[in-house]
Amino acid sequence: MKDAAVQIMPRFLRVRLGAMVAPAAPATHAGTGPRRWVWVALTALLLLSLLWALGMGRFGLRPSAVAAILLSGWLPLSGLDWDALLAGLPGGLDAAQRVIWQVRMPRLLLACLAGTSLAICGAALQGAFRNVLVGPQVLGISSGAALGGCLAILLFTSLPAIMGGAFIGGLVAVTAVYLLARTQGQTTMLMLVLAGVVTSAFFAALISLVTYFADPNDTLPAIVFWLMGSFATASYAKLGAVLLPMALGMALLLALRFRINVLSLGDEAAHAAGLAVEPLRWAILACVTLVVSSSVAVSGTVGWVGLVVPHFARMVVGPDHRVLLPASALMGGVFMVVVDTLARTLTSAEIPLGVITALVGAPVFAWLLRRTQAREWRHD
C-alpha cells in the first residue's frame, strides 16, 4: 500500500520527503477520462437503486409509476394514464403518493445517508491506519456508540439524548482502543485490532448488563430491536436531526483526504512532509465517531459497511483517497439501499439489517484477513 500511496503523491511532496520515499514516476492523468465514466456509472447506479427501492414492498409499484409520481410535482404530467400505471393497486394515486413520499422516501434517504457516511468513515480509517482490515466496528466505535445509545434509551428515550449518548460512548471506545494499542510511541496493526476486539467484548458485556436491568415489557424490546439495526422508524424529523452532524463529519473527512494520503505512507514520512500526525489522527477519529454515533442513533448497530464497501471502491478507483472517499460514499449509499430493501421485502417480517450486513461482511473480512501477510501486521 505504501508504493501505491507514493504513486499518487504530488512531485513536490515526493521531493520533500527525499530519501525516506522511494523514487516513483510522476502520477499521470491517463485515467481521468475513464474516471469520469466511473462517476457517472456510480451516480446512475445510486439513482437507479433508489428508484427500484421506492417501488419494492407489499404495495408494489412499477419503476415507470414511481418516476411519474416523483416528477409530478415538477413537470406537468396531467396527460398520463394514471389508471394504467397504477392498475391493480388499492387506493389509486393518492395511496401511491403517500406510500412513496411519507413511508419509503424518508426511510431510503436515511439508509442512503447512513451507508454513505459509514463507507467514508471506513475508507478514512483504513487510510489513516494503513490497513484495509480497520473499520468502525473493528476499532470498537460501533460497540461504544451502541452502549451509549442503550443507556440513553434506558434513561431518556429522546433522539437527541440517544445521539449524545452514542457519541460519548463511541468516543470513549475509540480512545480506549487507541491508548491500548499505543506501545512505545507506535501503533501496530496487530495491537490495534486486538485492542478493538477486547474493547468491543467489554462494551458488549456492558450492553448485556444494561438489557438485564431494562423493563422487559417496555424498554427491553426497544433496546433489542434497536441493537439489531433497522430503518423502520425513519422519518423526515430523524433525517433532519442527523443530517447536520453527518454532513459536517463527512465534509471534514473529505477536506482531509489529501492528508490521509500522506498518512498512508507511515508516520515518519508524514512527519517529514510537515504533518502533525497525532493531532491529525485524533481529528479523523473524532470525525468518524461523530458520523458513526449519528448513524447508530437512528439505525442501531449496522456493522461491516465501513469495512466491505471501501475495499470494493478501492478495486474500482484505486488507493488515492481524493477519489476513494467519494467513490466509497456512492457505493455505500447503493449498498445500504439494497440491503434495507432486501431486509423489508425478503420475508413477511422485517429482517434486521445487522444480520444481512454480517452475512456479507464476515466472509469478506475473512478473505481480507487471509490476504494480509504477517509481515504487514508486524510492521504497519
Write out pLDDT tens, residues 106-133.
999 999 999 999 999 999 999 988 888 7
Residue 358 lies in a domain: yes
Q: What contacts 155, CB < 8 A, 6 or more positions away? A: 161
Nearest one of 293, 1, 31, 24 to 165, comparing CA atoms: 293
pLDDT in tens, 267-282: 888 888 888 888 898 8
With the CA atoms of 274, 276, 277 and 278 taken in that order, what torsion angle do they form, in degrees rounded to the nearest 10? 170
Residue 145 DSSP SS3: helix
Asked if the structure places residue 25 within a domain, the reply is: no
Spatial contact of 96 and 225, defined as CB atoms under 8 Å apart: no
Tell whether 30 is covered by a domain.
Answer: no
* 68 located within any domain: yes
Q: What pLDDT is attached to residue 41? A: 94
* Cα gap 109→54, rounded to integer Å: 10
Of the ranges 132-136, 284-288, 301-305, which is most confident? 284-288
Residue 43 pLDDT > 70, yes or no?
yes
Residue 199, all three cell numbers: 474493547
Split at pLDDT 50, 70, 90, the class of 330 is: very high
Q: How many domains does the chain have?
A: 1
Span of 103-117, 177-191, 233-247 with lowest mean pLDDT: 177-191
What pLDDT does residue 150 have?
A: 93
Q: Which domain holds residue 73?
A: 2-20+38-56+63-88+107-379
Three cell numbers, residue 368: 481480507
| 186 SS3 class | strand
Residue 95 falls inside a structural domain: no
Output the average pLDDT for the chain.
Answer: 82
312 or 12, greater pLDDT = 312
- First CA to last CA distance, the chain: 10
Residue 85: the pLDDT is: 65
| CATH number of the domain residue 121 falls in | 1.10.3470.10
- Position 334 in a domain: yes
Tell me the three state secondary structure of residue 135: coil
Q: What pTM, to 2 d.p., does this model score?
A: 0.84
**Gap between the Cα atoms of 148 and 215, Å rounded:** 17
Residue 27 within any structural domain of the chain: no
CB 361 within 8 A of CB 308: yes
Q: What are phi and psi of 63, to 5 degrees?
A: -55, -35
Q: Which three cell numbers stand for residue 91?
A: 387506493
Domain membership flag for residue 187: yes
